[in-house]
Structure 1
Amino acid sequence: MYNTIKDHHLTGTHGVSQRPVQGVPTGQPPYRDKADEGIVKKDRLFPDVNVWPIALNDLSEKYSGDGLRQLAGLMVEVTRKFTGSIDSWRFDERDSLQDLILRCANRLRDRARVDLIDVYRNCDGELELDLKRYIGNKGNIYCINLKPLYGMKCKNRKLFEVLLSFIKGLPFDSIFDTCEDRIDWIWTFLIEEMEYCREAHNEDYGERLKGSVDFLSRYERKYNDFQIMDWKSRLESYRPQKDVYRKLKELLLTSEKLDFQVVQRISVRDGYESMVDFYHTFLITDDGESEFTQSYINMLNDCSNEYDLLSTYAHAIVSNQGTGNFEEGLEEKLKEVENFICELNELIERI
């Protein structure tokens, strides 16, 4: 049903090495020409290619009674919203709620380009739907490097404070977010590896590990205690002398036109199962070649061996409170953010 991309890589920007992701089902399922929207009879409810928009959930075993009625109601409402009236549909006494759900799923696929539907319960125990529309494969990890930034603090404190205020305000995880499970796990692993290197006298590996651990020890408190300033007003009054500083000022002033929150509004295919989502591919780190960054990439790739983290989707949430809309233009907004990060890293490396 899906193409398997072999030798595909999750990569980083500017020297972050690549790691292969193998055996991950990914990519857009082949689009089916509009066909009969009638009922597809199967022994199980959702295991077949003909109903792949919700094929990952065997709902016939998970939902019955009130739950199945609530699910059918949500499917009817969202089908009407995205595909128009269904008043012409006809049923007979042999048709069930499962049949109605399947019919809605097929129509949403054919007329509304809905590629996946995740079904889950919210914190109040009510069913919600997450409709997903495929927008492409994404295999890059984008890192903003702090090490050269801290190296220029004494040379140009004003620009340092502007840059750090800007970077710290971005909606990305950072190397210092030790309260986050993924970041905490990596630090636990690296510190344990350092202890092993001392016992095994592996000095080369130990030195590489020491670089990231020392960076954490030296800058974690300084980073967390740093108060974000009004970087734009400070930047507008800043008169750079060096060419690289002028380019940094020009680049930062263009950032207000960008939508950095777009990374939070794109999801991956297996986000619910893997507990990893698209925004985790954006990271504020020490250095693109550090052991911390390499361990972070390895962690995502290990997860990608079991789950599809490369196929990305726009999505709309459906609940009893209402139905969201698919956001248009996500790819263009994301590309602008990715290009900005690449340019920012290039300039930071030059300071």
Structure 2
Amino acid sequence: MWIPPPVRAPIGGAPASDRRRVCARIDRLVSGGQRQGWPWPLPPSGPLGVGRSRVRPGALSVGMRRRRPGEPLEPGNAHQTVPPLPRRAPRPSFYWSDFNNVAREVREFCEENGLVDERRLPSATELRFMPHPRPWLANGIRRHGGWKRVAERLGVRTATDVLSQPADASAPKLRRRGGPQKPRHYWREWKNLRSELTKFVCENSDSARYMPTVDELEAHNRYDLRYAIGLHGGFRLVARQLGLVARSSLIMRWTDLTAVAAEVRRVAERARLPPDVMPNERQLRQYGPRGLVDGIKQHGGLSVMAPRLGLRSQRHYPLRRKPRLFWTRDEADRQLKAFIQQCGRVPRVSDFLDAKRNDLLTALYRLGGLRSALERVCAEMDIAAVQRQDGVKT
């Protein structure tokens, strides 16, 4: 390993404090890497936490250099070299606009990688990871309509049609991901989306009147349909135009009470609660999946779900939360009469607060004020006229 003399070179014109900090960090990484058996003269740029522009000056500052492609990793092992990166030869403008150039490079790629006998168009993965890669060739194929159209013009099949093992064992295995590639701007046409989505609903949905959700599309590996629906305004707008009923993935997921009960018990186990205790809303949001709280609210809320699951609430007092539109004038007058009989006199504001009847006090204020309510109720109960007392607000 060639090591130049340890000359402290400036690091990109950085201040002296920055240079010392970078050099000290490189020294620590190099010493630690030697103990771990790193074969590199300089650690990779990932552990350094700096970009490519700082690795070279930092190496020079500690008397080291970056390894060049093709150089042995260790002195004496000439066959263990860093593989050189593929370089694309410069091409003239509008080179990929000519289909003959694309066809010639495809033939050259197949000859270099032993794919001539298979008579098929290489996939995008093979263009990148074969022993002799040409990743830039994918741009030329896409320019002429994609793999399906280029294969038809060349008189061969695509990799998704063949689904066979590549001739070279080092090449990645082919794997089907959806259907064949669509032409360019295919999903911008509304008729294409309508036909494909109608076909999907008829083949994979339980009912033909519901719009498929995101989870259903992803379960069938139809990410292209999800992308196309986003191009045309989203799920609700597309469902309205097709006359379908849009559904939410989260709502459909928590419709089943069995799934909700299983997740609730899993959350209780993660929160280290006793087996007969219902988790509260904070614990459900912290340890449970997204949308679990909304799913519980669909079934009536925590107070309703706990008895149905055989669990008890963490609260040690009964819930006093009233339903919506509970407080009417008749209901407030009825409870005020009962509270007056309980107190044995005309109550003050402090009496409501001491008895923890803030709900009744708030309702009376909303329905016209406490004094007017007391005058009305006392007149019905044949009590003497209410005098202005301390703490009673009009």
Q: Normalising by the residue count of structure 2, what TM-score does the alignment of the two structures yield? A: 0.20
Of the two, which has the highest radius of gyration?
Answer: 2
Q: Which has the higher strand share?
A: 1
